[in-house]
């Protein structure tokens, strides 16, 4: 058995290669607002992930640059959920998990890969989520700025252990359809 200096979490990134990329249809600001109000009022019928237009001031605050700027709104069921991040990228990755799509959004978690080609993105076991609403921004780190990743939502993903969920996969290279640069798996019982 080979000795590993830096043990890394298992991550099947090969299944996320050569996917057919189609930009996610963004919901309107009005639809976004209605989903958030409904989720915060306890309605769990609309849980899932939705592409939204990120707030321009928020992107500026977080130093996001480039022509790809996609934000994902995650609506979660009422029971406790788990968010697990993984990565297999040539370039360092960063993720922001936020409470809102506004200039003054609170950052719940900021994750980054410790080095290139490391599968760790966030804590090994993920994080528990209590809020029914969160927003996700995913980026490739370039020196002192973030370049937004192309993002796809996989609502049909099935977690292990009989749980339910969905995943958000991201790729940073426009010339390749590999979406293993950042992978965010949301699951619940």
What separation in angstroms does the CA of 163 have from each of 76, 81, 101? 13, 10, 28
* CB contact at 8 A, 140 and 149: yes
What confidence tens digit (pLDDT) does each residue in 51-69 have?
Answer: 999 999 999 999 998 887 8
For residue 52, give the nearest of 129, 151, 127 by alpha carbon: 151
**What is the average pLDDT across 11-39?**
80
The mean per-residue pLDDT over the stretch 114-118 comes to 73
Out of 8-12, 25-29, 86-90, 93-97, which region has the weakest mean confidence (pLDDT)? 8-12
The CATH number that domain 23-188 falls under is 2.60.120.400
Q: What is the pLDDT of residue 3?
A: 44
Alpha carbon 188 to its chain centroid, in Å, reads 16
What pLDDT is stored for residue 8 in this prediction? 47
Least confident of 1-15, 48-62, 100-114: 1-15
Reported pTM: 0.86
Whether the pLDDT of residue 171 is over 90: the answer is: no
pLDDT of residue 26: 93
To the nearest whole number, what is the mean pLDDT of the chain? 83
Q: Please compute the mean of the pLDDT values over residues 118-132 and round it to a whole number.
A: 84
Coil, helix or strand for 102?
coil
pLDDT at 177: 66
CB 49 within 8 A of CB 166: yes
């Amino acid at each position: 058995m080979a000795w590993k200096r830096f043990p890394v979490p298992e991550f099947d990134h090969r299944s996320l290669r050569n996917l057919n990329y189609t930009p996610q249809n963004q919901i309107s600001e009005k639809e976004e607002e209605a989903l958030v109000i409904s989720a915060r009022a306890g309605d769990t019928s609309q849980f899932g992930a939705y592409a939204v237009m990120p707030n321009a001031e928020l992107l500026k605050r977080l130093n996001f640059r480039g022509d790809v700027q996609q934000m994902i709104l995650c609506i979660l069921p009422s029971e406790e959920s788990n968010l697990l991040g993984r990565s297999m990228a040539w370039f360092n990755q960063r993720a922001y998990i936020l409470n809102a799509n506004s200039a003054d959004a609170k950052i719940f978690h900021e994750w980054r890969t410790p080095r290139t080609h490391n599968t760790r993105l966030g804590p090994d076991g993920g994080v528990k989520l209590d809020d029914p609403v969160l927003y996700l921004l995913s980026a490739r780190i370039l020196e002192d700025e973030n370049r937004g990743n192309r993002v796809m939502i996989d609502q049909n993903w099935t977690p292990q252990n009989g749980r339910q969920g969905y995943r958000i996969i991201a790729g940073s290279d426009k010339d390749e359809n590999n979406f293993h640069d950042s992978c965010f798996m949301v699951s619940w019982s």
